[in-house]
Amino acid sequence: MPSRSKILVFAATNSRQSINKRLASHAACVLRDDLSAAVDIDLIDLNDYEMPIYSPEREAEGIPQLAQDFYDKVGASDGLIMSFAEYNGSYTAAFKNIFDWTSRISMKVFQDKPTLLLATSMGGRGGQNVMAAALEGFPHFGANITSSFLFGPFAEHFDTDANRLKTPDLTQELSEAVEAFKATLRVD
């Protein structure tokens, strides 16, 4: 029987209309369908992990169960696909709060999992600032970054009806990033 890998997929935002959730989901489909990887996709919504805003005083009261649940989801996965929304040049408050709480459990938030980082935006820069921050910082928090991909403007390059990229060179770039990620997984 072929071995299957469990891939945790999420957009680092709490937006219910997230274009980054669409991108993360599309990348997971490229992995499973286009590249025929034997994977199980676990697409989560950060709204399911909403906690009080982190502070040392709140930490003294105890770490929320939802932070442990998120940490356990990462631990149970074989790889991560994350797509970042960029708010004012940085991470969203929703993601940063989950990240801050989870880092109190372990500084190795991402537990050395192979990680594909993505970003898109409605503007032409495609989330460059948040991607640069993640590429620089996440290895210190246990992310084994295999590849990254970003683009913008979203509406110009993504077919929302088909839920996939429509620009050939970007489609190829994403496929290469996903292929690099796949190469680190235990899949047939």
pLDDT (average), residues 138-166: 97
Predicted local distance difference test score (pLDDT) of residue 1: 46
Give the pLDDT band of residue 132 (cuts 50, 70, 90): very high
Q: How many residues does the chain have?
A: 188
pTM score, whole prediction: 0.96
Predicted confidence (pLDDT) at residue 2 exceeds the cutoff of 70 = no
pLDDT (average), residues 82-109: 97
pLDDT tens digits for 55-91?
A: 999 999 999 999 999 999 999 999 999 999 999 999 9
DSSP H helices, the chain, are: 19-29, 56-60, 65-76, 93-105, 128-137, 154-157, 168-182
pLDDT tens digits for 29-64?
A: 999 999 998 999 999 999 999 999 999 999 999 999
Rounded CA separation 94/116 (Å): 20
From the candidate CATH numbers 3.40.50.360, 3.40.50.1000, 3.30.460.10, 1.10.10.60, the one assigned to the domain spanning 5-182: 3.40.50.360
Which tokens is 59 given?
A: 């930490």
User: In 3D, which of 29, 31, 10 has the Cα closest to residue 20?
Assistant: 10
